[in-house]
Each structure stands twice: as structure tokens, then as C-alpha cells.
Structure 1
Amino acid sequence: MSIEQAYEYCQEIIETHSKTFATAFSILPTQKRKAVWAVYAFCRTVDDIVDEENGTRQGLDQFENECQRFFKGELLEHPIWIALDDVRRHFLLDEQPFLDMIKGQKMDYMKHRYETLAELEHYSYHVASTVGLMLLPILAPHEEEKLKEGAVALGLAMQLTNILRDVGEDLQKGRVYLPKEILDEHHYSYIDLMKQNINLDFIAVWESVALRAEKWYEKASSTISHYPPDARIPVYASLTFYREILMAVRRNGYNVFEKRAVLTKTERDRLLFQLHESLHVVV
């Protein structure tokens, strides 16, 4: 398989599974954009292994082994590794976030409920903040240390947003990510959750986690100006798109059990245009 075919494989994955990310990063320069496709395809593959292996870790362990071999310099035949091999010829990839991402996905085999927000954010770091850390050498070469905290914050915000959007889908998989300490604080029980009760207590639980997400979005926003001009709008767009998902849930009356909050293409295009206008960045 050629390098271009490998990138096309990765592009199809991002455009199929995350129109939000695909749109946000579509205006990057070609080499950076293709590198983002490859990193996203890696992350999506890890996530899919967890969902498709029915509770076994064999597939994930095998993928972890491939990842370790890849970072030792071995050439592997899967299109994701072919694309990432080209990426590392142009950008200084850090192995640790890739391995930490896999470690985070293993947590889904071991834990289906979370007691505290701190525990949830530890998990969120591994499955989401690691993505930002993978992308930093691509989006902002030589600025990784300056931007690390903001990238971690954005990952936490996005994962909390995913959790708030996907409460119903996660329930069907037997997973409850809303922390028990917050459920207890607002007198909303696991039984209420199983019954899909949308009441004032549920809204209070949801908004409590959303407030935490907003805190992380604010922290991430404060670092956007440190990105190179060609990456500034894409990063801010991904932040804005995800933040808008919280508003979409609210517009849906907090019904996260029967409706999946999404942004339409028109909404994404409008927000992207507004970001171009507000940031005054020529890409």
C-alpha cells in the first residue's frame, strides 16, 4: 500500500466517525492535515477495539504490541502504521501519549462506574487529553511545553462533553461515567438513571459536570494564541464545536437518552466562518 492510500484510509475514518474534527482541521496545511488524519485513525481504532472485542483485551493487547514495535522503528503493514511512519518523518512524535491512550482504553475493561470527579478526570486524561498531546508536535512544533497544559485541559473538556452527550449510549453498554459523588450530591440515584428520569435532579447533575467542562474549556482557550497561525483556527474550531454540543443538549431538553446532540454541517460552517472573522487569521 502506498503512503497516499494509507492517508486516504485515515481520511475516510475521520470523515466517517467525526465530522466535527474533520471540519475543524480541514483548513490546516496539507502535511499537518494528513498527520491529524493518521493520529485520529489511531485513536479511533483503539476505541473501536474496546467496543468490538466484547470485554476481552486480546485485540487491544495485540494493538499495544504493534504500537511498541512501531515506536522501536519497525515497519508495519497496516495503513495506520504506514501513515504514522510518514508522519514521524515530518514531525517529532512522542511515544508516551500513544501508549497512555491505550492504557486509558484498558480502563474500560476494568471499570464501568466512577466514584469521584477526580477519578473520572484521571480516566479522561488517558482517553482524551492524550490526543492533544499526540497532536502538539504536529500543530505546534517546538511549542509543546508551552501548550501542554492547554492541550490537557481541552482533552478533559471534550471528554466530559462526550460523557454528557452519550449518557444513554453508555448506559446501553453498561457504563456510567457520571460520578457517584455528584449523583449523591443532587439526590439522583443509579435507579433514576436506569429509568432515564429527566428531572431537576438530573439536570443539576448534568450541569454540575458541564460547569467543570466549561472550566477546562476556559483554560484551553487562554492558550490558543500560542499556537502557530496555521493551527490557531483549527484548534479553536474543535474547542468551539465541542463546546456547542453542550448547548445542543440543553436545546434537546437534556434528553441524552433518546437523542444524540450533534451540530449540523450548516452550524459547523457558520461557527468556522465566525472564527475566521473574530481571530483575523489568514490561513
Structure 2
Amino acid sequence: MTTVEDAYAHCARITREQARNFHYGIRLLPPAKRSALCAVYALARIIDDIGDDPALSAEAKLQGLAEVRKSLGDLSTNTDPVYVAVADAARRYPIPLGAFEELLDGVEMDVTGRKYVRFEELVEYCRCVAGSVGRLCLGVFGSRPDTAAPGYADELGIALQQTNILRDIREDLRNGRVYLPKEDLDRFGVDLAIGEDGNLADPGGGLTALIHDTAARAREWYTRGLRLVPSLDRRSAACCTAMSGIYRTLLDRIDEQPSRVFDRRLSLTGREKAVVAARALTGAGR
């Protein structure tokens, strides 16, 4: 039988090994909140991994997601350590478990190959796959009374996901996925393609211009979402600021030189992430 302590330790290992950016913020939380957020991350990781598994057919992925939905319906009967930890965390904190359902909805959009014509349609997707995670985190953080707080958490998650989309244009295209809305591609005359050299093609500079425009829009979402920070206690605010700071720094790098994402998946070094996290803990990164 899996004990609660073992379950949390299992989730902490998953987070430490797989959360390239998330873990830097989680480390700033006190132990109890850190464990709860690791549980949230571990379940989100299970959901994401089902959607991204190249060995699974679309039908198998949808079946796997359906099984997660079923498990969420009765956490008390599931002995998997991740679910044991999530169930305990939900007893300790007001975690909106329904947000996991939204995450499942978003991953299903990926599996079924949903296309995005308008930016508003992309926002719906981002709200499912990332805004949901923002609201799950807020359940662990807690906040001063503010009815707008969940909305801010949602907006911050959407900002982070827009950054992910810019970072992963090439990788997503290679996997048959396009998240940049068609109306934006058309507006800048972009026909997304990978050239013979394996890099994103940008013969007329339209993709570069589109990336600059998308980065500016993402910054507006960060501005709105970061209104959440004053409602949080010091350690939770530091965690939130560290995670958003890593992604905002990444967005700045992409905007400064869009060609950086033409041939790679851009990321910050461990040292750079640690510096952002340290600044967040002192309040300098807000």
C-alpha cells in the first residue's frame, strides 16, 4: 500500500526530473505547499504525456485521457501514488480539481488536431492547457480575498502558453501541429515550412514580424496576469514570480532575435533560471 509520504516523494521525483522550468519556482515554497504543487504537476505531467506519446494512436490517447477523467471522479479509490498525493493535497488545500478536466479538454484538442483560425480560439486552448494550471497553483498558494484572483491566474497561464508556442514553432510543425492562428499567419503572409536545412523558412521576413507581434501581445497577458502577485503571501508570490520570470526572459530572448527559434528549442541555462528564482525570492523580479 502506498503511504501519503511515499506518494508525495514520488511526485517530487517526477517534478525534479521533468519540470525544467516549474521546479525552480516550486523550490521557493514552504514544504507543505511544495509537496502539494508537486502532486499537481505530476498529474498534469501524466495528462500531457498521454497526449504527446508518439507510440500511441489517437484512439489510444483518447482512451487514456478518458481513464484519467474516470480516476478524477473518485480519487479515493485510486492507489497510484500520483492520485494518492493529489487526493491528499485536495483535502489540505482548496484545489479546483475541475481544472484538471479543462486540461484534459485541451490535450484532447491536440489529439484530435484542432486548428486555430482566430486568436480567440487559441485563447480557449491556452486557457484549457495552461490557465487551468494557473488556477490549480492558486489553489495551493492561497490568496487574500480577491474574486479576481482566479482570472489573473488564468491570464498568467495563457501568457506562459503563448511563450511556449513561440518557442516551439519548429518542433510543433515537425509534429504536425500549428498553434499560430491562421488569421495571424495570413496577416503577415506566412506559410509555415521547414527548409531543406531543417530550419524554419522565413524568405520574406514575415515570420520574424509575426513573432515580434505575438511577443508584444503575450506581454499584455503577462501584465494582466501578474496582478495576481500582490494577493499572494511572500513565498507564493516568489514562486509565481520565478516561474513567470523564466518564461518572460525566454520571451524577451525570442523577441530580441526571432531566428533563435528557427533551428532549435530555445531555453535558459540552469544558472540563468536560478538567478531569476533568486531575484523572485527577494522581490526584485516583480
Give the structure-2-normalised TM-score: 0.90
Say which SS state the counterpart of residue 254 (structure 1) adopts: helix
1:252 CA drift (Å) = 5.8
Deviating above 6 A after TM superposition, structure 1's stretches of 4 or more consecutive aligned residues are none
In structure 1, C-alpha distance between the alignment counterparts of 2:271 and 2:115, rounded to whole Å:
36
| Number of corresponding residues | 276
Equivalent residues of 1:75, 1:81 under 8 A apart = no
Q: Which residue of 1 aligns with 2:232?
A: 227
Say which SS state the counterpart of residue 182 (structure 1) adopts: helix
In structure 2, C-alpha distance between the alignment counterparts of 1:115 and 1:149, rounded to whole Å:
24
Equivalent residues of 1:32, 1:139 under 8 A apart = yes
Cα separation, partners in 2 of 1:127 and 1:253, compared to 1, 3 Å: closer
Q: Which residue of 1 aligns with 2:202?
A: 198
Q: Which residue of 2 aligns with 1:212?
A: 217
Alignment of 1:119-130 (within 5 A): 119-130=121-132
Say which SS state the counterpart of residue 41 (structure 2) adopts: helix
In structure 2, C-alpha distance between the alignment counterparts of 1:278 and 1:66, rounded to whole Å:
39
Q: Confirm or deny that 1:50 pairs with 2:54.
A: no
Alignment of 1:87-98 (within 5 A): 87-98=89-100
Equivalent residues of 2:212, 2:258 under 8 A apart = no
Cα separation, partners in 2 of 1:14 and 1:41, compared to 1, 3 Å: same
Q: Which range moves more in the overlay, 228-237 or 110-119?
A: 110-119
Equivalent residues of 1:6, 1:79 under 8 A apart = yes
Q: Which range moves more in the overlay, 209-218 or 8-17?
A: 8-17
Given candidates 253, 272, 278, the residue that maps to 1:273 is 278
Equivalent residues of 1:252, 1:261 under 8 A apart = no
In structure 1, C-alpha distance between the alignment counterparts of 2:256 and 2:25, rounded to whole Å:
23
1:277 CA drift (Å) = 3.5
In structure 2, C-alpha distance between the alignment counterparts of 1:183 and 1:146, rounded to whole Å:
33
Alignment of 1:1-283 (within 5 A): 1-52=2-53, 53-56=56-59, 57-70=62-75, 74-140=76-142, 143=145, 145-190=147-192, 193-195=193-195, 196-199=200-203, 200-250=205-255, 253-279=258-284
Cα separation, partners in 2 of 1:208 and 1:51, compared to 1, 3 Å: same
In structure 2, C-alpha distance between the alignment counterparts of 1:280 and 1:167, rounded to whole Å:
27
Q: Which range moves more in the overlay, 268-277 or 246-255?
A: 246-255
Equivalent residues of 1:38, 1:84 under 8 A apart = yes
1:111 CA drift (Å) = 2.7
Say which SS state the counterpart of residue 22 (structure 2) adopts: helix
Say which SS state the counterpart of residue 255 (structure 1) adopts: helix
In structure 1, C-alpha distance between the alignment counterparts of 2:187 and 2:240, rounded to whole Å:
34
Equivalent residues of 1:112, 1:174 under 8 A apart = no
5+ residue gaps, structure 1: none
In structure 2, C-alpha distance between the alignment counterparts of 1:232 and 1:50, rounded to whole Å:
31
- One-letter code of the match for 1:42? L
In structure 2, C-alpha distance between the alignment counterparts of 1:252 and 1:186, rounded to whole Å:
17
1:264 CA drift (Å) = 1.1
Equivalent residues of 2:116, 2:179 under 8 A apart = yes
5+ residue gaps, structure 2: none
In structure 2, C-alpha distance between the alignment counterparts of 1:96 and 1:253, rounded to whole Å:
37
Say which SS state the counterpart of residue 19 (structure 1) adopts: coil
1:180 CA drift (Å) = 0.7
Residues 162-208 of structure 1, C-alpha deviations (whole Å, 9 max, x = no match): 11101111112110111110011011124xx3432135211111122
1:143 CA drift (Å) = 4.0
Residues 125-180 of structure 1, C-alpha deviations (whole Å, 9 max, x = no match): 00100001112121015646331121011111011111110111111211011111
- One-letter code of the match for 1:81? Y
Residues 26-84 of structure 1, C-alpha deviations (whole Å, 9 max, x = no match): 010111000010001111110101112332211111111111222xxx33111111101
In structure 1, C-alpha distance between the alignment counterparts of 2:145 and 2:70, rounded to whole Å:
30
Q: Which range moves more in the overlay, 138-147 or 260-269?
A: 138-147
1:93 CA drift (Å) = 2.2
In structure 2, C-alpha distance between the alignment counterparts of 1:50 and 1:246, rounded to whole Å:
25
In structure 2, C-alpha distance between the alignment counterparts of 1:49 and 1:189, rounded to whole Å:
29
Identity %: 29
Give the structure-1-normalised TM-score: 0.91
